[in-house]
Amino acid sequence: MLDIAEELHRWVGQGRDFAVATVVATNGSAPRQPGAALAVDTDGTAIGSVSGGCVEGAVYELCQEALKTGKPVLERFGYSDEDAFAVGLTCGGIIDILITPVRASGRGPAADSGSTGTPVDSTAETLAAALAAAAQGEAAAVARIIEGPAELVGRALLVRPDGSHTGTLGGHPALDRTAVEETRALLDAGRTTTLEIGAEGAQCGRPVVLLVESSVPAPRMIVFGAIDFASALVKVGKFLGYRVTVCDARPVFATRARFPDADEIVVDWPHRYLDSQELDGRTVLCVLTHDAKFDVPLLERALKLPVAYVGAMGSRRTHLDRQQRLREVGLTELELNRLRSPIGLDLGARTPEETALSIAAEIVANRRGGTGTPLTGAHTPIHHDVTRPVGQIGSVA
């Protein structure tokens, strides 16, 4: 759901009621991962996607039905369904989808807790707050019950990095406490996944399965070296969702005119700029300077940082010379093994655009655990980070 937060936040602001269908679990060759969403408003307008086109029509109808009934529903699509071909999921995968109606017009309690003892359902307000946080680029995670007591399915809890939260899952204070703790850990890792809280932790007589969607600021890509290859890489980095910085010590080259797509352009010595930054485990560093006076002090620092990727451009001769210089300044073989150099995958690239694609392909393969080998004739998985369907999820006691 948070992948279309910006548009849904606008819908909430306009008071438009809608139903949002969210992929909660997958198995096999599923086209979209947990968190992918499709939303339909009362006028029939649709945004987003849950299957890359496979089951959109059937999910669209379920969203319209949820808008009429006001009740959430969990639906499974896949090769095990008799009508799998009819709805179009012929790729051999299974996807579980949660459809949740959201009343944005005159949001308020959907149920009175006075007679049942069940806390007031604040789902609409909680989801609206989650959409606002994600649309504004804030770090936040929303946990929703996708399996458990029927009266609790669809309930939501918004968790922030400091552990503060909005809303309630409605079962028991202990369930909220456990959910906040587990959701906060997933938010710290920037993960979207499902988890099961055992009956003891849920305190509502049976286990509860949650979908946790994390929204975190865009990961960073820092490109060192204001060359023509860097301009192409900036465009690809933005396409992949990175916040891209270009850094070069030469002001004549590091200009907005040359890098109009960059989020930030910095004129500074690369190693000095790197020393000034707080980087996380999602950051990628691309060193395109291939000049020892820039590369060595920069890589000496970069290869000791807990970042996701460090790649450096240059010929194989340049790479060997660079490795020797880095050994002389004290880097260990373990640290040197983190360096992707020559940078990129072997695509036969020659132009700046082709080289940028080669670098981006290596970054994606490194992130997702891919091999970089052709899929034709291979026996490796197409999707390396597939999650299990609901009902096959590990327990958190």
Token pair, residue 185, equals: 């850990």
> Is residue 225 a contact partner of residue 265, using CB atoms and an 8 Å limit?
no
For residue 353, the tally of other CB atoms under 10 A from its CB is 16
Dihedral of the CA atoms 4, 138, 369, 319 (nearest 10)? 120
* Residue 5 CB partners (closer than 8 Å, separation 6+): 130, 131, 134, 135, 215
Note down pLDDT in tens along the chain; length 397 residues.
Answer: 888 999 999 999 999 999 999 998 887 666 678 888 999 999 999 999 887 666 888 999 999 999 999 988 889 887 544 544 454 445 556 788 999 999 877 554 333 333 344 445 688 899 999 999 999 888 999 999 988 888 888 899 999 999 899 999 986 788 899 999 999 999 987 888 888 888 665 666 678 899 999 988 889 999 999 999 999 999 999 999 999 999 999 999 999 999 999 999 999 999 999 999 989 888 999 999 988 899 999 999 999 999 999 999 999 999 999 999 999 999 999 999 999 999 999 999 999 999 999 999 999 999 888 888 888 877 766 665 544 445 444 333 3
Rounded Cα gap, residues 132 and 158, in angstroms: 11
- The domains found in the chain, sorted by start residue, are 1-105 (no CATH), 138-217 (no CATH), 220-368 (3.40.50.720)
- The whole-model pTM stands at 0.67
Any idea what the Cα angle at residue 363 is, between residues 94 and 273, rounded to 5°? 135
